[in-house]
């Protein structure tokens, strides 16, 4: 993972044209929309339908190449500059997500404990931060599960995307 992480980003449209800078990738279960500014990836989301046209950039094309390699099972760690604005707590959760190894999961409560929190509402706060993750897949919120169930996943595809990614990382076997 690149050490380049910013907590704010500039407008993600191409010099005032209103057309987002990014890339679109077709995957088995849906579309992946990647957005960036001049220096960092700012968004990555699953979509049910093909996103609108975007203006390509070298960074967006590199992100698309890496996400495609990941989806094809040829990449286990991303090396991209990221910018993810959010609350201090949310950013601390997203930073932890980046350290969960490929093919492994952690529980919401475990992450809360690592953050010095210990009750049920703190585990829910970790879940909320995971749901607010602006760079899904690359910041692997899908690797966080509940104590007795899969947990949630914020995307147009919901838990279908989470199961797909967990299965992918387990080599098509069930990770959870």
- The per-residue pLDDT string of the chain (176 residues; one tens digit each, 9 = 90 and over) reads 444 554 444 444 444 455 678 999 999 999 999 999 989 999 999 999 998 867 889 999 999 999 999 999 999 999 999 999 899 999 999 999 999 999 999 999 999 999 988 777 899 999 999 999 999 999 999 999 998 889 988 888 999 999 999 999 998 544 44
DSSP states of 139-166 = S-GGGEE-SSS-----STTTHHHHHHHH
Do the Cβ atoms of 126 and 144 come closer than 8 Å?
A: yes
In the block, tokens 């907590």 appear at: 7
**Which DSSP letter does residue 101 get?**
P
Residue 89's SS3 state is: helix
Distance CA 9, CA 79 (A): 18
**Domains of the chain with CATH codes:** 5-71 (no CATH), 87-169 (1.10.10.10)
Residue of 98, 165, 170, 174 lying closest to 129 (CA atoms): 98
Phi, psi of 75 (to 5 degrees): -140, 135
Residue 108's SS3 state is: helix
Q: Is 141 a catalytic residue?
A: yes
Catalytic residue among 36, 44, 130, 141: 141
pTM comes to: 0.86
């Amino acid at each position: 993972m690149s050490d380049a992480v910013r907590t704010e980003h500039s407008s993600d449209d191409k010099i005032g044209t209103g057309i987002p800078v990014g890339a679109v990738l077709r995957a088995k279960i849906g579309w992946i929309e990647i957005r960036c500014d001049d220096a960092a990836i700012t968004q990555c989301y699953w979509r049910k339908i093909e996103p609108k046209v975007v203006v390509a950039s070298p960074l967006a094309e590199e992100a698309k190449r890496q996400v495609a390699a990941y989806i094809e099972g040829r990449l286990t760690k991303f090396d991209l500059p990221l910018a993810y604005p959010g609350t201090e707590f949310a950013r601390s959760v997203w930073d932890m997500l980046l350290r969960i190894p490929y093919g492994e999961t952690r529980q919401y409560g475990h992450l809360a404990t690592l953050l010095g929190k210990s009750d049920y509402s703190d585990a829910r706060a970790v879940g909320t931060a995971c749901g607010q993750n602006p760079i899904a897949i690359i910041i692997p919120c899908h690797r966080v599960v509940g104590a007795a169930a899969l947990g949630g996943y914020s995307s147009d595809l919901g838990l279908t995307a989470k199961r797909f990614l967990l299965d992918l990382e387990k080599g098509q076997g069930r990770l959870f």
